Amino acid sequence: MTFLATFHWGWLLATLLLGFAMGWIAVVHRGHGVSKHLARWLAALVAALLAAALARLVPGRPGYWLDLGLLMFALYLIGCGIGSWLRDRVLPGPASAG
C-alpha cells in the first residue's frame, strides 16, 4: 500500500482534491441524492470488490487495476467527507439545514 501511495501520489492527490471539491459542493447541492435502497446495493458492490481485492482473487493487470480503483475510491470518499464537513463548518448556522 505504501508503495502504491508513493508511486501514484499524483493521481491519488488529484482524487483527494476531486473528492474535496465534490464534498464541498454536495452540502449546498439541491439535486437528487442516491436512494437508500440503491446506496445499499452500491455498498454491497464495493464490499464485494474490496473482498476480491483483499483475497487477491483477480490475477495480473486487472487485479492491479482493481487495487488502484479501490484505493482511489477510498481517497475520493475521504476527500468528500473532509470537503462536506469543512463547508458545513464554514456556512452560517441554520443555512446548513438546506
Positions touching other proteins (CB under 8 A) are: 2-4, 7-8, 11, 14-15, 18-19, 21-23, 26-27, 29, 31, 33-35, 39, 56, 59-65, 67-69, 72-73, 76-77, 80-81, 84-85, 88, 96
Enumerate long-range contacts of 71-75, CB under 8 Å, 24 or more apart.
71/1, 71/4, 71/5, 71/8, 71/12, 72/11, 72/12, 72/15, 73/46, 75/12, 75/15, 75/16, 75/19
Which C-beta is closer to other proteins: that of 50 or that of 73? 73
Instruction: Specify whether the CB–CB gap between 4 and 71 falls below 8 A.
Output: yes
Minimum CB distance to other proteins, residue 92 (Å): 15
Minimum CB distance to other proteins, residue 69 (Å): 5
Minimum CB distance to other proteins, residue 22 (Å): 3
